[in-house]
Chains A and B, each alone.
Chain A
């Protein structure tokens, strides 16, 4: 690469952070001392292009250590990796968690979405030093904030009860109270009805012995016994569909990758749980990490993958620590690595830490992000099963989807597929938050109604009434109190013009300012659009502007009917012409809110 590098240099701290990732500089061409040898030898090329997937890790390293990604750090990363400084900067500037404006050693990110917003969080009156953040995925404890203290190592802490007094105290230097145990997020913990969540709160998340004592690794043994094709057949028989929102049949996806003649095949676990109101995957990873590792091993075995990636949200520090420890434990127990359990099958997993980009939950944006690029979605086709990560056949599954594979293999696919309703088979996790007494992750068999779920959560607080419920997150839709008896199945929600999406059920009582909630969703999409395709980049901005005009009445010359028609038109354009799901769904919630009448 021909690099043109400005004069800014990295600080000692930044250099040390980079060295910790890549090892010390090898020669004068890579930031080391220039010696006689450098006058005659230099290496670049493929060995350095192979470093590209480590770019996010490097940016995290300097951002964590120094509290920002400085121009000097950009130059140093460029020197060490042969990636042009403009490229490094373009990637750094794509992700919200990378701070570019100057060192900020103690960043407090306050969630201002969905449940936290309903609980009083607001982006309009944050004190200096606090940053408004999209949903932090801890809605059951709303309102929350995330404190990032730069250093080696950096300390990430979830701040609960993030009310103004707490925020002020933390900003003033107080150490936040340690976050509550993960069991608290599963109010059903210990119930005999649980399948997917049955271990959470009942076992030590990092004890392999505990995990095995609760039928851990039996499903993998079963898969090895069945062989690859029969394993996929079980998943197909179970009628398992993707739980991330798109509901694609998992068995079909696996079979498609398994049949690709091109190798290697790759497995990506989409743990970039960023849909506002969603936190189930985090709870699973924090409370039962081995279930994900075992499920990924089964998926990899069935589809012929030697390597798996967990793309984890950057805002999930506890899930990160738990998974890292679990991976180490699994490796040392021979459950990852070469010849797993004597099967001859070899597989390992690495974690890619996201950096604050909702779009990276899109199944092709996730590939670009893992590969070290801006997380911009790719055009489809080709589909991931054919050309995915590193342009190789790739299985992408959400965390919840994967852990369903364990009971499928233990019970048998047909038996598991018999659970639930005709159109929605099996168990389903819901992220219940907002105005209920016991918010948390709930597991039900498909078919339970919205009312039943709310009741599981203890009903509404203080005899309030339901004003609206957000189903499926920002990309989902609002339903009103008239829909409480709707079964939470794919077919029933589809018939009602809604969707289950990622399992968000955020309940708003009659005290909540719904206009504010809807405007926040418009702002969210505007912020999170990657900007790559015009319908979404321009559409999300125009949608927010139009919505603002409607609710503030700033353009008396335009009738409400005209504005609503324009809004609807914008929504249709985004739906028809955006290249990925973000733009295609950016109008859903707003459209449903208008139809529900919450804006009038």
Chain B
């Protein structure tokens, strides 16, 4: 979201699902949506069956790549190199949308100079993708009538994830594939309400409605509405800590108390051994959850909450920015309480005087109406209207009209007043993964998801699936042969941070030197013990996608202090 906000001022995917279905060219970049976003992929498939060309840029020939007309199998962490090479080729082939660049962007010349070194040959050498493939992708994307670039964590879960995103945005700016029907940039979100969480201001640098905390008018508006003006709670002008910074602050002893709501950082963080240690060191840890997660086991107080999709009233916002109602069908079991009610109770016990009614329905609608006063992009979305229209995409500033389904149409306006701030090109520099491969750690480990499981398995683990085969370390056929590893043989995988065991699975979607694991089974195989904590300074996202590991057959292991995979 940071990348999109930098370029366009708003951190959301620019297109609607309908537009994806009607695109002529779709580039899935670092996204195995076939497995990880199966519903979104149905929209992609509609486009594909309608004749759209599909490209997949991914180190693995993932299930998504198997659907693609062309798979570009780049080396892990060379996304910027590939994007810059594509940019140079588009420029040199004369395929830029010059009038769009002149009118709606800034920094083109500096950007063009910065990619000049990225000839097809250089790009090919760095990324591993053949010259012809790069040329085909560049030309097809640039000359398409309607083109989409979609990405997921393969782009963002790097130490330079924001730069990765910016490098993709550059391509859209070069070709004018943004701000109009059918063309756009679509980051796919991992959960039903990642978009909404950010939109609501549950992030350290933005208030509700994606309004910048640095903006004094914004702070004043919220201070007034919340009655904070002149109190010691008046909103601070500085950004708060993002996730990784919070863990760093725990390490320093600066962060002493944490309220964890529906999250499981003890298992979901890169380098989870370290995360557990830090959480244990807190003075006060309150966990509000449905289940006694690994994190809840460490808490001082555990508060049983409500499931968001069936026990709660409210709204969620999907990847196309559509706000939709979610309705309560069940009461939470036992003494478990509504999540909003618990937080309101917590506030009032600490001296606040919040009154949002008594029932979840009253609370939800009163909260919603309060935030509509504060967030212009939600202003026009009453519950009644959300109901009537089956959800509304933001921005929706007016309660009697709707905006187009795509964002940034202003960039195509001839009127400078409407056009507003031009979208800046970003000079982004190729920056390989933090952990380089060495003789000791010669394999690149990348992580991802499978269709049958959801994240750390808290929600999906108890349901059986014929597709599920447990955690494995997937290795290329070439490596398996070279090392004499049989399919299913348990091997030891070690990084500079720890060692785990897992059965090997020979998978021809991988090339020699590349291995793959999920993080769906932390209690059996805690993959995040291996991943690296290096994070992007701009977004705080960890580099889950590129660790350096070694693989040893158990019989010949050189690691005497190996730890059992079971996380004991």
Residues A40 and B66 in contact in the complex (CB < 8 Å), given A2-B34, A34-B477, A45-B54: no
Residues A45 and B133 in contact in the complex (CB < 8 Å), given A1-B67, A2-B66, A39-B511: no
A526 CB, nearest partner CB in chain B, Å: 34
A41 to B511, CA, bound (A): 11
B1-45 toward A: CB 8 Å interface, digit per residue (1/0)?
Answer: 000000000000000000000000000000000100000000000
Residues from chain B with Cβ under 8 Å of A3 in the complex: 66
Nearest residue in B to A45 (C-beta to C-beta)?
B69
Asked if B69 and A40 make an inter-chain contact with CB atoms under 8 angstroms apart, the answer reads: no
8 CB contacts below 8 A, A to B, read A28-B508, A37-B130, A39-B73, A39-B511, A40-B74, A42-B65, A43-B69, A45-B67
A3 to B508, CA, bound (A): 12
- Residue A46, interface by CB 8 Å: yes
Asked if B34 and A40 make an inter-chain contact with CB atoms under 8 angstroms apart, the answer reads: no
- Residue A8, interface by CB 8 Å: no
A551 CB, nearest partner CB in chain B, Å: 47
Asked if A46 and B53 make an inter-chain contact with CB atoms under 8 angstroms apart, the answer reads: yes
Residues A40 and B130 in contact in the complex (CB < 8 Å), given A34-B477, A46-B51, A46-B53: yes
Residues from chain A with Cβ under 8 Å of B61 in the complex: 29, 42
- Residue A596, interface by CB 8 Å: no
Asked if B34 and A44 make an inter-chain contact with CB atoms under 8 angstroms apart, the answer reads: no
A4-32 toward B: CB 8 Å interface, digit per residue (1/0)?
Answer: 00000000000000000000000011000
Residues A41 and B129 in contact in the complex (CB < 8 Å), given A1-B67, A46-B69: yes
Interface contact tally, CB-CB below 8 A: 59
- Residue B240, interface by CB 8 Å: no
A421 to B74, CA, bound (A): 74
- Residue B63, interface by CB 8 Å: yes
A9 CB, nearest partner CB in chain B, Å: 14
Asked if A41 and B133 make an inter-chain contact with CB atoms under 8 angstroms apart, the answer reads: yes
B286 CB, nearest partner CB in chain A, Å: 43
Interface of A is mostly: mixed
Residues from chain B with Cβ under 8 Å of A45 in the complex: 48, 53-54, 67-70
Residues from chain A with Cβ under 8 Å of B68 in the complex: 42, 44-45
Asked if A1 and B69 make an inter-chain contact with CB atoms under 8 angstroms apart, the answer reads: no
Task: Tell me how many residues of A have a C-beta within 8 Å of chain B.
Answer: 16
A28 to B71, CA, bound (A): 14
Residues A41 and B71 in contact in the complex (CB < 8 Å), given A2-B63, A34-B508, A46-B51: yes
A40 to B71, CA, bound (A): 7
Asked if A2 and B512 make an inter-chain contact with CB atoms under 8 angstroms apart, the answer reads: no
Nearest residue in A to B61 (C-beta to C-beta)?
A42
Q: How extensive is the interface on chain B, given as a class? A: 20 to 34
Within B106-137, the residues touching A (CB, 8 Å) are 128-130, 133
A28 to B510, CA, bound (A): 13
A390 CB, nearest partner CB in chain B, Å: 12
Hey, which bits of chain B sit against chain A, CB under 8 A?
34, 48, 51, 53-54, 61, 63, 65-74, 128-130, 133, 477-478, 508, 511-512
Residues from chain B with Cβ under 8 Å of A46 in the complex: 48, 51, 53, 69
Residues from chain A with Cβ under 8 Å of B70 in the complex: 41-43, 45
- Residue A47, interface by CB 8 Å: yes
Residues from chain A with Cβ under 8 Å of B72 in the complex: 40-41
Within A533-549, the residues touching B (CB, 8 Å) are none
A29 to B477, CA, bound (A): 13
A29 to B71, CA, bound (A): 11
A226-254 toward B: CB 8 Å interface, digit per residue (1/0)?
Answer: 00000000000000000000000000000
A42 to B71, CA, bound (A): 5
Asked if B34 and A41 make an inter-chain contact with CB atoms under 8 angstroms apart, the answer reads: no
Most B CB contacts (10 A, CB to CB) among A37, A39, A47 go to A39
Residues from chain A with Cβ under 8 Å of B508 in the complex: 28, 34
A268 to B250, CA, bound (A): 74
Residues from chain A with Cβ under 8 Å of B478 in the complex: 34
A45 to B129, CA, bound (A): 19
With A39-B512, A40-B72 already in contact, 16 other A-B pairs whose C-beta atoms are closer than 8 Å: A2-B67, A34-B477, A34-B478, A39-B511, A40-B73, A40-B74, A40-B129, A40-B511, A41-B73, A41-B130, A41-B133, A42-B68, A43-B71, A44-B69, A45-B53, A46-B69
Residues from chain A with Cβ under 8 Å of B129 in the complex: 40-41
Residues from chain B with Cβ under 8 Å of A42 in the complex: 61, 65-66, 68, 70-71, 73
Within A91-130, the residues touching B (CB, 8 Å) are none
Nearest residue in B to A40 (C-beta to C-beta)?
B73
A37 to B70, CA, bound (A): 13
The 6 tightest CB contacts between A and B, nearest first, are A45-B69, A39-B511, A40-B73, A42-B71, A2-B63, A40-B128
Asked if A40 and B133 make an inter-chain contact with CB atoms under 8 angstroms apart, the answer reads: yes
Asked if A44 and B511 make an inter-chain contact with CB atoms under 8 angstroms apart, the answer reads: no
A45-86 toward B: CB 8 Å interface, digit per residue (1/0)?
Answer: 111000000000000000000000000000000000000000
A41 to B65, CA, bound (A): 10
Indicate which residue in B67, B130, B477 contacts A44 across the interface (CB closer than 8 Å). B67
Nearest residue in A to B508 (C-beta to C-beta)?
A34
Asked if B128 and A39 make an inter-chain contact with CB atoms under 8 angstroms apart, the answer reads: yes
Residues from chain A with Cβ under 8 Å of B53 in the complex: 45-46
A3 to B164, CA, bound (A): 30
A163 to B282, CA, bound (A): 94
A45 to B44, CA, bound (A): 12
Residues from chain B with Cβ under 8 Å of A37 in the complex: 130
